[in-house]
Amino acid sequence: MTPPVVAIDALEKSFGDYPTKRVLRGVNLSIPPGTVLGLLGQNGSGKSTLLKCSLGLLRPTAGSVTVLGDDSWNLSAGVKARLGYVPQEAVTYPWMRVRQVIAYTAAFYPTWNQRLVDELCQRWRLPLEERVGPLSVGQLQSLAIVLALGHEPELLMLDEPVAGLDPSARREFLRTILEIVDNPRRTIMFSTHITSDLERVANRVAILKDGRIAYYGELDELKDRVKRLRIAAAHDLPQSFKIPGALRCEVAGAVATVSVNDFDEQLADHLRTAWSADVTVHDLNLEEIFVEMHAAGSPTLAVTR
């Protein structure tokens, strides 16, 4: 079996001594080559922390991360050369011109693909002769992405790569991602809040909730499992009406609207019979699933694969 590109084992990360902020509370993930993983989670859920622990930029409090065979806290130069990273706040050299930053970065990598870099700069209309300092947020982000792609990394980690991009630049960026992942040896992990983008490019999704992975698996499978049911019963339903493990349940008279995380047809049939109800099943998009998973009082999911 091909070893995972990233193997995260019981990872914990806390900040501060008193009070200690426990951000990651036991994260397990095994990411095979060729995966495009979209990482979702509410603000402050620990997405950047997870990426930084994976890159050896933060030391795990407990547990471990193995990246391309190396422990993330002791990455060899050889493994570092196979990684690309775009942090949430791209750091570059404000006094240099764009062309100079590119040349400076290229000098570190024997595998630098200048043709790819030239093409991306043209596509994203990066002003090569301008200084980096006054570039807009979106231009800086585009530049950071170009710099991270130039050496054609095997593993690319992107922390909210499209947050500063306008819709057309986002589209271009996603197109590029789709092109570069047309290579089974390349793996991408990216965090985002834009679920529609994630749906377009990711083949797997990981959802961080309460310091753990609430779901990790294929997007289609998640959509098959999380459904919203409208249950229209013959008589008023009791206020205590509940479906065990439901993410959210609202009852109004004879109608209940319930989001479930482990749907199967048997459940719908059971509800039809038990409540003499008309049960309709609605598909949810990723954004709706995310909102349901984070509804007040929703249980921690048992859908991790």
For ligand ATP, the binding residues (CB under 6 A) are: 15-16, 21, 23, 41, 43-49
Q: Are 302 and 245 in contact (CB under 8 A)?
A: yes
Q: Least distance from C-beta 239 to ligand ATP, angstroms?
A: 36
Length of the chain equals 305
- In which element (H, E) is residue 146 found? helix 137-149
Q: Which is nearer to ligand ATP, 50 or 233 (CB)?
A: 50
Q: Least distance from C-beta 39 to ligand ATP, angstroms?
A: 8
Distances (CA, A) of 185 to 15, 24, 116, 229, 272: 34, 28, 18, 40, 48
Q: Least distance from C-beta 215 to ligand ATP, angstroms?
A: 16
- State the first-to-last Cα distance of the chain, in angstroms, to the nearest integer: 18
Strands 36-41 and 204-209: parallel
Q: Residue 31: beta bridge partners?
A: 6
Q: Least distance from C-beta 57 to ligand ATP, angstroms?
A: 10
209 closest CA partner among 291, 86, 87: 291
Q: Which is nearer to ligand ATP, 11 or 23 (CB)?
A: 23
Q: Which is nearer to ligand ATP, 43 or 74 (CB)?
A: 43
* 297 Rama class: left (phi>0) / alpha (psi -120 to 50) / beta: left
Q: Least distance from C-beta 142 to ligand ATP, angstroms?
A: 19
Q: Which is nearer to ligand ATP, 15 or 93 (CB)?
A: 15
Q: Which is nearer to ligand ATP, 53 or 174 (CB)?
A: 53
Phi, psi of 212 (to 5 degrees): -130, 170
Q: Which is nearer to ligand ATP, 2 or 43 (CB)?
A: 43
Question: And the tokens for 122?
Answer: 């043209």
Q: Least distance from C-beta 218 to ligand ATP, angstroms?
A: 22
